[in-house]
Amino acid sequence: MTGLLHERELSRKTFLKGGALVLGFTLGGGLAGRAAAAYQPPLGDYGPDVAELDTWFAVGQDGSVTLYTGVVELGTGSVTGLMQIAAEELDVPFGAMKVVTPDTLRTPDQFVSSGSRAISQHGPPIRQAAAEARQFLVNLAAGKLGVPASQLTVSDGVVSGGGKSISYGELIGGRLFNARITGTAKPKTPDKYRIVGTSVPRVDFPSIAAGTHQYIQNFRLPGMVYGRIIRPPSQGASLVKVNGFKQHVTGVVKVVRKHDWLGVVAESDWEAIVAARALDATWSDWSGLPPEGNLHAVMRTLPLYDAAANPLDLRVGAQYKNPNPNVWQNTGNADAAIAAAPKKLSVTYTTPFLAHGSIGPSAAVAVWQGDRCTVWTSTQTPYGTREAIAKFWGVPNNNVRLISAQGSGTYGQNGSDDAALDATIMARELDRPVRVQWMRWDEHTWENYKSARVYDLSGALDANGKIVAWKSESWGFTNYGRPEYHEPAHGGEPGSLFVAQLAGWTGASVEEGGGPQSAPPFPIPNVWAKHNFLGAPSQRKGALRIKSGSMRNPTGFYDTYANESFIDELAALAGIDALQFRLNHLTSPRAITALQTVAQAAKWDFRPGPNPNRGKGPILRGRGVTVQGNIAEVFEVEVSTKTGKVFVPRVTVAADHGLVVNPNALTSQIEGAVTFGLSNGLYEQVRFDRQKVTSRDWVTYPIMRYKDSPPVIDTVLINRPDQPSTGGGEPPHQPVLAGLANAIFDATGVRMRDLPFTPKKVLAALRSAGY
Amino acid sequence: MASKLKIKVNGLVHSVTASLDTPLLYVLHNELHLHGPRFGCGLAQCGACSVLLDGKEIRSCVTPVAAVSGKAITTLEGLPALWAKERGTSGASPVLHPIQQAWIDQQVAQCGYCQNGMMIQATDLLTATKDPTEDQIRTALNGHLCRCGTYVRITKAIRQAAAVMAKGGK
């Protein structure tokens, strides 16, 4: 139960002599093999044929079933959930399941393991494939047993009927299905579920608890050497000259330079670190960043992204083809309605760049054999990144084999993809595998930050306290900072990787980031909403040299912060309880149920905000509510009038995620999302000076610590087996920032509109309000 | 300059070759192939690399290997044997330490990357404080960062482990 690969079975000789490398990651079930050990599924440009049953499943002679999935285990438990879905449809015990996670040579292309898609979008094809496999096996058994398929039942991997039985292992163990997915098999109805809907323990936890789990950061190959990268000292600096080492160094295998990309490879990790530190290089001066305090003012003045000037860049949905000018909603006449309304409000919300902040800095391992390369990486986008690497090196897709290895949590587009390219650049110069490990400051200063945003919101109420008009204008950079491709077109583009840019690549990039993700959660008669898309900056090019990419979700949680804060402000303006105000407007039955459920669970006291009994301190108490999609959250806060510190003693969540596959794993995701969001809201901001990002570590980029974390997070799952599953990683994070701001308002009467809500900012606001 | 050193890890003495200033983490990781302690920051800020040195939690990423000679290092992989010794049973007991078992029972981890340090620090805590209050737990582990947001479950797991250990593992 190690999740280990065959490293001990592999000599360096097998590496360098060529042939297909058979190293893959399995989770929890030991080594998993194809039914026929030597079987290599035929490959298209994007992996094995997804219409073949053998692409998805292999049955062992012992009755074990291996699921081959294109979904990456990111630490969310999704792969355990997918194994539950497969076991359920196949009618095998969960313990019979094994899994092979993405390997472009062996697993189906399941697009990206991002966007909360792992269960919601990638579960259904696995469910269908498993139902097909079951149907195939029952038909096979019917022939062998001489009993009509209609009289056969399956239990624990054994087909029985007419007094006879035969196991899956006996039917097909060690052999191929050689069958197409027909689309005719009918998956079970949810009332028959026995495995889906239960809290099966995660398959990767035994090895995590024992300390034997294989992360990319400790993945090792025979003969492997160790790489460190040396990034430019400013966002825009170019490498003028490499001068050699400032001091005596040992173990250096090679200094590798490619345009502005610089790295060093050594025989040991420590020698690589020492050498990278000692390597003296001359870089050009650059200081093109705006003063930090002017960021949001500067964003309003930056040129809008010009799609026509970058025809290859945008490959995503229609709304992004022409992202500017992007008036994404225009209903009724918002200006006239605001002018005529008795009560109105105009405010601005601003948000900072945020770092993903993976605890383990990105790492990757690569080895070349001639013009073929194998890369081990914790990317969320195996096929997109594989294609980008292939394009970068000018080789066919299938010359690059990408194998997914579990890494530290990514929370979106962290440095994993760039580190993968780093590894291929170093390994290209050597006949040995290289593990590249970013240092803490490499991750913090050169990742795809969540884009800062500016929101101008105006709204108006009628005499009954209903919102009659809503105006929204926002500014932001791209949401995508990596070469994933977008369905249906493939097209991983190296230009999305700053490592490729450093290494001289000047081609296109895949970008997205036009419109906001979340509109007001209910219909309003007069709405005008515009987004100003500022394009795709990176450390190497663009209007602002701070690279952005999706974190936790593309724009949704910042959009929801602005929208749900503003709704709360309108509720206060109307003098109506904040939760009741939302009930007065919502039309979605599921959202209403979530809100009513959270009101009950949190023992919500219906009264207008702010808290009339808040007193004068030293601790002010209040509560705030938000609802986004079908998730409602209530935050209780304590605000110190002495320090400005905000503490959240209790959070209550009511969450409707449709069909719940694994309640405990989902609850864990919700707890994590809430804690992560509170960390974003209270502490986090990527700092920079005129040259570079200055948030280099956990002192200069603090995140939530244990003592400051909420001691109680109560979650109520509203299970709806008749509805498709929705994602667990993104949606519960989305409401948090507004819930926090709304609770601070309730506690203090002060509205915080500029994230993060640091003690300094809160204290200043309290002082201005007379505390 | 590389030197030959002897270090005692999880009850066994190992001969390793490394320069004296090499952080212990890299020796454990690359020479002894121990995967419990992990690289997180190299700055003693996050705790992913924690090990026990004579029973007390230290950060292996900033501890030179030369500084641990003559002392006993325990990594996450060594906790089962540590527990077996405490109970007076054989050192090769396959049973997980109650802390590790509690981590599984409470399904604490998400990505799991930081959890090594959490479990090591919890072991240190429960050695000195058999029945810690919630406040003691939150204070003792405050120097360990989790980005996934598992703190609420860690509290539950440590309470479970404390209860199990109080009964001698029964």
- pLDDT at A515 > cutoff 80: no
Q: Is residue A320 part of a domain?
A: yes
Tell me if ipTM is over 0.90.
yes
Contact A706 B22 (CB under 8 A): no
Residues of B in Cβ contact (< 8 Å) with A247: none
Residues of A in Cβ contact (< 8 Å) with B40: 359-361, 440
**Probe site for chain A from B43, B101, B151, B156 (most A CB atoms < 10 A):** B151
Q: What is the domain-level CATH number for residue A99?
A: 3.30.365.10
What is the reported pLDDT for A438? 98
How far away is chain B from the Cα of A406, in angstroms, using its nearest Cα?
A: 8
- pLDDT at B89 > cutoff 90: no
**For residue A753, what are the contacts with CB-CB under 8 A and spacing of at least 6?**
A347, A348, A349, A350, A565, A741
Residues of B in Cβ contact (< 8 Å) with A713: 152
Q: Which among A215, A268, A439 has the least Cβ separation from residue B30?
A: A268
Residue A476: beta bridge partners? Answer: A453, A533
Q: How far apart are CA B147 and CA A356, in angstroms?
A: 9
Average pLDDT (B39-68) is 98
Q: At A511, is the pLDDT very low, low, confident or very high (cuts 50, 70, 90)?
A: low
Chain A's closest residue to B64, CA to CA, is A270
Answer yes or no: do A620 and A496 share one domain.
no
Tokens 């006291």 -> residue: A605
Average pLDDT (A305-316) is 71
Contact A206 B104 (CB under 8 A): yes
What is the reported pLDDT for A66? 96
What is the reported pLDDT for A328? 85
Q: Which among B36, B100, B134 has the least Cβ separation from residue A711?
A: B134
What is the reported pLDDT for A17? 34
**CA dist list (Å): B140 to A183, B77, B101, B124:** 55, 21, 20, 9
Query: In a 10 Å sphere around its CB, with 0-12 CB exposed, 13-18 middle and 19+ buried, how is residue A587 labelled?
Result: exposed
Three-point CA angle B47, B53, B57, nearest 5°: 30
Contact A679 B149 (CB under 8 A): yes
Q: What is the domain-level CATH number for residue A297?
A: 3.30.365
Contact A250 B2 (CB under 8 A): yes
Q: Which of A201-215, A594-608, B90-104 has the lowest mean pLDDT?
A: B90-104
Residue that terminates a domain, selected from A529, A554, A579: A554
Residues of A in Cβ contact (< 8 Å) with B76: 210-211
What is the SS3 assignment for B169?
coil
Q: Which among A74, A217, A711 has the least Cβ separation from residue B38?
A: A217
Query: In a 10 Å sphere around its CB, with 0-12 CB exposed, 13-18 middle and 19+ buried, how is residue A94 labelled?
Result: middle
Q: At A748, is the pLDDT very low, low, confident or very high (cuts 50, 70, 90)?
A: very high
Q: Which domains does chain B have, with CATH numbers?
A: 2-77 (3.10.20.30), 78-166 (1.10.150.120)
Phi, psi of A320 (to 5 degrees): -100, -5
A17, two tokens: 């002599």
Q: Among residues of chain A, what percentage have pLDDT more than 90?
A: 80
Chain A's closest residue to B94, CA to CA, is A210
Chain B's closest residue to A701, CA to CA, is B45
Q: How far apart are CA A467 and CA A423, in angstroms?
A: 54
DSSP E strands in B30-123: the ranges are 50-53, 56-59, 72-74
Would you say how long chain A is, in residues? 771
What is the reported pLDDT for A29? 38
Q: Is residue A185 part of a domain?
A: yes
Answer yes or no: do A191 and A48 share one domain.
yes
Q: Is residue A1 part of a domain?
A: no
Residues of A in Cβ contact (< 8 Å) with B109: 75, 202, 205, 208-209
Average pLDDT (A745-752) is 98
Chain B's closest residue to A442, CA to CA, is B41
How far away is chain A from the Cα of B70, in angstroms, using its nearest Cα?
A: 22
Most confident range, picked from A116-130, A294-308, A332-346? A332-346
Q: Among residues of chain A, what percentage have pLDDT more than 70?
A: 91
Kindly report the number of other CB atoms within 10 A of residue A248's CB atom. 8
Contact B141 A706 (CB under 8 A): yes
Residues of A in Cβ contact (< 8 Å) with B30: 220, 226, 268-269
Do residues A224 and A432 touch, judged by C-beta distance below 8 A? yes
Strand bridging mode B56-59 / B50-53 = antiparallel
**Probe site for chain A from B22, B43, B110, B123 (most A CB atoms < 10 A):** B110
- The whole-chain average pLDDT of chain A stands at 91
How far away is chain B from the Cα of A665, in angstroms, using its nearest Cα?
A: 8
Q: Among residues of chain B, what percentage have pLDDT more than 90?
A: 90
- pLDDT at A90 > cutoff 60: yes
Answer yes or no: do A127 and A155 share one domain.
yes
* DSSP symbol at B64: B
Q: Which among B38, B41, B103 has the least Cβ separation from residue A215?
A: B38
Q: Which among A213, A674, A706 has the least Cβ separation from residue B35?
A: A213
**For residue B67, what are the contacts with CB-CB under 8 A and spacing of at least 6?**
B24
What is the reported pLDDT for A118? 82
- pLDDT at A129 > cutoff 70: yes
Q: Is residue A532 part of a domain?
A: yes
Contact A713 B152 (CB under 8 A): yes
Average pLDDT (A653-662) is 97
Residues of B in Cβ contact (< 8 Å) with A206: 104
Contact B38 A202 (CB under 8 A): no
- pLDDT at A729 > cutoff 80: yes
Q: Which among A211, A408, A440 has the least Cβ separation from residue B77?
A: A211
Q: Which of A169, A170, A151, A171 is nearest to A161 (CA)?
A: A151
Do residues A622 and A640 touch, judged by C-beta distance below 8 A? no
Kindly report the number of other CB atoms within 10 A of residue A222's CB atom. 14
Q: How far apart are CA A312 and CA A335, in angstroms?
A: 37
- pLDDT at A2 > cutoff 50: no
Residues of B in Cβ contact (< 8 Å) with A705: 142, 145
What is the reported pLDDT for B74? 98
Q: Which of A497, A552, A652, A728 is nearest to B147 (CA)?
A: A552
Answer yes or no: do A647 and A582 share one domain.
yes
A261, two tokens: 């990309």
- pLDDT at A1 > cutoff 50: no
Between A18 and A411, residue with greater pLDDT: A411
Q: Is residue A418 part of a domain?
A: yes
Residues of A in Cβ contact (< 8 Å) with B147: 357-359, 408-409, 411, 676, 703
At A239-298, the pLDDT tens digits run 999 999 999 999 999 999 999 999 999 999 999 999 999 999 999 999 999 999 999 999
* DSSP symbol at A636: E
Taking CB atoms and an 8 Å cut-off, how many pairs form between chains A and B? 181
At A576-592, the pLDDT tens digits run 999 999 999 999 999 99
Chain A's closest residue to B24, CA to CA, is A270
- pLDDT at A36 > cutoff 70: no
Answer yes or no: do A262 and A405 share one domain.
yes
Q: Which among B39, B104, B148 has the least Cβ separation from residue A209?
A: B104
What is the SS3 assignment for A746?
helix
How far away is chain B from the Cα of A256, in angstroms, using its nearest Cα?
A: 23
- pLDDT at A322 > cutoff 70: no
Q: Which among B21, B107, B148 has the least Cβ separation from residue A205?
A: B107
Q: At B93, is the pLDDT very low, low, confident or very high (cuts 50, 70, 90)?
A: low
What is the reported pLDDT for A14? 35
What is the reported pLDDT for A490? 57
* DSSP symbol at A644: -
At A382-391, the pLDDT tens digits run 998 999 999 9
Between A478 and A352, residue with greater pLDDT: A352
Answer yes or no: do A422 and A563 share one domain.
no
Query: In a 10 Å sphere around its CB, with 0-12 CB exposed, 13-18 middle and 19+ buried, how is residue B32 labelled?
Result: middle
Q: Is the peptide bond before B37 cis (omega within 30 degrees of 0)?
A: no
Find the distance separating the first CA and the last CA of chain A, reported in whole Å.
58
Chain B's closest residue to A662, CA to CA, is B107
What is the reported pLDDT for A115? 77
- pLDDT at A15 > cutoff 70: no
Would you say how long chain B is, in residues? 170
Q: At A10, is the pLDDT very low, low, confident or very high (cuts 50, 70, 90)?
A: very low
Contact B147 A673 (CB under 8 A): no
> Alpha helices of A641-707 — where are they, by DSSP H?
663-683
Answer yes or no: do A203 and A223 share one domain.
no
Q: How far apart are CA A655 and CA A714, in angstroms?
A: 11
Answer yes or no: do A576 and A468 share one domain.
no
Tokens 């002018």 -> residue: A339
Residues of A in Cβ contact (< 8 Å) with B83: none
Contact B23 A668 (CB under 8 A): no
What is the reported pLDDT for A76? 92
Average pLDDT (A71-95) is 96
Q: How far apart are CA A688 and CA A771, in angstroms?
A: 32
How far away is chain B from the Cα of A213, in angstroms, using its nearest Cα?
A: 7
Q: Is residue A453 part of a domain?
A: yes
Q: Which among B34, B96, B153 has the least Cβ separation from residue A209?
A: B96
- pLDDT at A456 > cutoff 50: yes
Q: Is residue A231 part of a domain?
A: yes
Residue that terminates a domain, selected from A392, A413, A445: A445
- pLDDT at A318 > cutoff 90: no
How far away is chain B from the Cα of A584, in angstroms, using its nearest Cα?
A: 34
A182, two tokens: 């027909």
Q: Which of A264, A306, A304 is nearest to A281 (CA)?
A: A264
Query: In a 10 Å sphere around its CB, with 0-12 CB exposed, 13-18 middle and 19+ buried, how is residue B66 labelled?
Result: middle
What is the reported pLDDT for A488? 47
Q: How far apart are CA A567 and CA A558, in angstroms?
A: 14
What is the reported pLDDT for A496? 87
Chain A's closest residue to B62, CA to CA, is A270
What is the reported pLDDT for A19? 35
**For residue B39, what are the contacts with CB-CB under 8 A and spacing of at least 6?**
A217, A360, A361, A437, B25, B29, B48, B49, B61
What is the reported pLDDT for A3? 31
Between A506 and A437, residue with greater pLDDT: A437
Q: Is residue A59 part of a domain?
A: yes
Q: How far apart are CA A204 and CA A196, in angstroms?
A: 18
Between A727 and B57, residue with greater pLDDT: B57
Average pLDDT (A50-74) is 95
Answer yes or no: do A161 and A255 share one domain.
no
> Residue A364 belongs to what domain range?
216-287+356-445
pTM of the shown model = 0.95
Chain B's closest residue to A223, CA to CA, is B30
Answer yes or no: do A350 and A361 share one domain.
no
Answer yes or no: do A277 and A384 share one domain.
yes
Q: Which among B101, B110, B151 has the least Cβ separation from residue A706?
A: B151
Q: At A396, is the pLDDT very low, low, confident or very high (cuts 50, 70, 90)?
A: very high
Residues of B in Cβ contact (< 8 Å) with A217: 38-39, 113
- pLDDT at A516 > cutoff 80: no
Residues of B in Cβ contact (< 8 Å) with A697: 41, 43, 45
Contact A202 B109 (CB under 8 A): yes
Contact B42 A439 (CB under 8 A): yes
How far away is chain A from the Cα of B26, in angstroms, using its nearest Cα?
A: 7
Number of domains in chain A: 4
Average pLDDT (A202-216) is 96
Phi, psi of A274 (to 5 degrees): -60, -45
A538, two tokens: 């990176």
Tokens 């109805």 -> residue: A189
Contact B35 A201 (CB under 8 A): no
- pLDDT at A30 > cutoff 50: no
Residue that terminates a domain, selected from A159, A187, A210: A210
* For chain B, the helix, strand and coil percentages under 3-state DSSP, each to the nearest 5: 40, 15, 40
Q: Which among A273, A673, A698 has the least Cβ separation from residue B45?
A: A698
Q: Which of A417-431, A481-495, B39-53, B110-124 has the lowest mean pLDDT?
A: A481-495
Answer yes or no: do A532 and A671 share one domain.
no
Q: How far apart are CA A677 and CA A703, in angstroms?
A: 10
